[in-house]
Each structure stands twice: as C-alpha cells, then as structure tokens.
Amino acid sequence: MVPSGACAEFHEVAQWPPPAQQPDEESQDEMVAFVASIIATVVFIRGIRWYQDRTPVDHEFTWGEAMLFATYVFLIFFWIYGVVPHQWLQWADSELNWRPDRFMVGPRLAWTGNQGIVEWALPFTLDYRVLRDFIAVGIYVVALGGNIVMWRQWQERDQKTIAPAPTSEYGRPLVKEGVGA
C-alpha cells in the first residue's frame, strides 16, 4: 500500500518545467542596479560636458586639476566599460533568465508553419545567451563611439563655425553691387 502523501509528493517533484514563480525582490534588484548604472553614466557624462563648457581652450591646467580630471575620466571608463556591462549580464542571467538552453523562437505566423519567425528566417539556432552577449558587445561599441565623440568635442571646444558666404545658382560668391569695384 502506498502512503497517501507519497503520491502528491511524486507529482510535485515530477512536474517539469517548474511552475512560474513571482519575481522576488532580489531579482528585481538586478534590474534596478542596471538602470541605476545607466543613470549614473548619464550624470558622469553631464559632469564632463559642464566642465567642458566652462573651460577655455587656452586654460593652463595645474598639476592638481590634471590629476583630478584624469581620476574622474578613469572613474567614467571603469564605470562604462566595467560596471554597466556587468549589471547588464547580471540582469540577463538572473531576472531575464537568458540561458543557453532557451532558444529564440519568435511568434508563430501563418506562413512559418510549426516554427517561430526567428527559427524560420535564420539558418541557425539562436539562444538567449548569444543575444545577451551581443547586447553586451553593443554596450562596448556605444561606449567606444561615445569616447570618440567626447574626445573630438573636447578638442574642438571654443572653435567657432564660419558661416558660408552666399553663392549664386552657379556656385560663385555673391558680391554686393558697387563694392570692391
């Protein structure tokens, strides 16, 4: 004879996949940490823009100013290239649950048959871990592009753009009547 609790226990253990659980506070902390790291990045960048706007090109930096600014830039590099991608990877692994055994399928449409749109369109399988890593690489690419833009803006601060002289239909500069004759 089987004990009455054994049957219920067997069905509880044999249930696969496990039922969906409500997200707990710890997993939501990962998302909050990622969003907070993005907000902190924006605040750090605004600090550089503020300093750039108030510093003339011919300003001679003292040793202390140079060290302080170099430390601030190092902090930003550490933050953008270390903390932000780390928080993304943590969030994708924990709360989003992007594992290598979960595949990108996409919605099933009438012409895709039994496959999802992503399975139908791509000649290879794409799992969520690969997508997670592509997004991390995208974070690095955006950060590198931002570095290049900020370096250029710093070097070109205080340069005034010269308004182009008006030209005729034929591309020749317009000259006022009676001037320069």
Q: What is the pTM of this model?
A: 0.68
Rounded Cα distance, 75 and 89, in Å: 20
CA neighbours closer than 13 Å in the CB half-sphere of residue 99: 5
Q: How confident is the model at residue 28 (pLDDT cuts 50, 70, 90)?
A: low
In sequence order, what are the residues at sequence separation of 6 or more whose Cβ sits closer than 8 angstroms to the Cβ of residue 150?
Answer: 45, 48
Query: Which amino acid, 120?
Result: W
Mean pLDDT in residue range 9-20: 43
Rounded Cα distance, 166 and 175, in Å: 9
Give the model confidence (pLDDT) of 128-157 as tens digits.
899 999 999 999 999 999 999 999 998 888
Query: Taking 60 as the threshold, does the pLDDT of residue 2 lie above it?
Result: no
* 8 A C-beta contact, residue 111 and residue 121: no
Q: How confident is the model at residue 125 (pLDDT cuts 50, 70, 90)?
A: confident
Rounded Cα distance, 177 and 181, in Å: 9
Q: DSSP secondary-structure letter at 127? A: B
Q: Which residues pair with 127 in a beta bridge?
A: 103
Give the model confidence (pLDDT) of 45-59 as tens digits.
999 999 988 888 888
Q: How confident is the model at residue 24 (pLDDT cuts 50, 70, 90)?
A: low
* 8 A C-beta contact, residue 139 and residue 88: yes
Domain map of the chain by residue range? 27-155
The answer to whether the Cα torsion of 81, 83, 84, 88 is positive or negative is: positive
Rounded Cα distance, 100 and 127, in Å: 6
Rg of the chain (C-alpha set): 29
Mean pLDDT in residue range 14-29: 51
Mean pLDDT in residue range 86-95: 92
